[in-house]
Structure 1
Amino acid sequence: MDTGLLLLRLILALILFTHATQKLAGWFGGNGLSRQAEIFASLGLRPGRVMVLAAGVSELLAAIGLLLGLLTPLAALLAAGTMAVAGATMQLNSGKFWNIAGGGEYPYVLAAAAAVLGFTGAGALSLDALLAEPGSVLETVFYQPALWVGAAVLLGAVLAVIPFASVVKKSSTP
């Protein structure tokens, strides 16, 4: 199980790092900050530059936390929330769910995978495991999270969507 959690964390970290650097620096064929800010603004996420910075920095911090398995529920919350907002934005703008039709399916899958880590923790192959002492808060919240931690990550991701969904919905209706 620990190897599976490590692989999940590494894959998500790589994807989130790539997403962040596409937005912030134009790496990996991305638009970079200025062009991405225009796109975000056109989707109703204004001010575009601030929203791109918020999304990019959230993805980058989540990637680092997941890569290291450090403060994993917080990293999972950042990833799940950012990806849930991305999925909702895409879905509300296209009116479709499926990725091929411009919908939010793919970001939702990333959000779900991140939320799972809120319930499982990073596993034994992580800094959370290395730093947590038996019976400590670090163990209960980060290394072997209680059910409420995962539920809080999931709820936080859902709640993150609400303000963005209302803004995007207003800008996409004539």
Structure 2
Amino acid sequence: MKQLLYTNPANVTALIARLALAITIFPHGAQKLLGWFGGNGFAGTMSFLTGAAGLPWIVGLLVILIEFFAPLLLVLGLATRLAALGILGNFIGIVLSAHLHSGFFMNWQAEAGKEEGLEYFILLFGLTLISLIAGGGKASVDALVNHNRP
């Protein structure tokens, strides 16, 4: 367990990566769980994920919980690797199920119904891998728990 939380408390790169990742993912989770930022909230999201998307209810629930709570853990730098692993698994599933064949670009001006490309996910995976490798870094609870020294 201690190795899971180990991090260099002076690592500013880890701090930047986990905060950027948290700021990017949290609004998606807040849409799904709370209905913030124009989202459908828990009931609407579960209905979509289990209906139109065809996911089992447990997978839909995990998507919502990971996208909401993992960014909160990242902001704190608490169980950083576990939070990053949850995000990585969640978004690998999203890419494989909906975006893999959509090309590279976001396609914001493409015809209706076309999925987003892979460029956003490549950046997301890069930040996630930094958090997985480096841990929480500077200003993280992980560093405090381990009493690490730079």
TM-score by length of 2: 0.73
Deviations 1:35-71 (A, max 9, x none): 3233323122133xx4332111112231122111111
In 1, distance between residues paired with 2:103 and 2:53?
Answer: 16
Of Structure 1 and Structure 2, the greater helix share is in 1
Residue ranges of structure 1 left out of the alignment (5+ in a row): 145-174
User: What is aligned with 1:75?
Assistant: 83
Residue ranges of structure 2 left out of the alignment (5+ in a row): 1-9, 108-113
The question of whether the paired residues in 1 share the 8 Å contact of 2:70 and 2:84 is answered with yes
CA RMSD in angstroms comes to 2.5
Displacement of 1:8: 1.9
User: What is aligned with 2:136?
Assistant: 122
Displacement of 1:27: 0.4
The question of whether the paired residues in 2 share the 8 Å contact of 1:24 and 1:52 is answered with no
In 2, distance between residues paired with 1:112 and 1:5?
Answer: 12
Residue among 53, 66, 70 paired with 1:43? 53
1:34 maps to 2:48: no
In 1, distance between residues paired with 2:12 and 2:95?
Answer: 28
Displacement of 1:104: 5.2
In 2, distance between residues paired with 1:104 and 1:21?
Answer: 23
Q: In structure 2, give the amino acid aligned to 1:46.
A: P
Percent sequence identity is: 32
Q: How many residue pairs were aligned?
A: 132
Which of structure 1's runs of 4+ aligned residues deviate more than 4 A?
A: none
1:19 maps to 2:35: no
TM-score by length of 1: 0.64
User: What is aligned with 2:102?
Assistant: 96
Q: In structure 1, give the amino acid aligned to 2:124.
A: L
1:107 maps to 2:121: yes
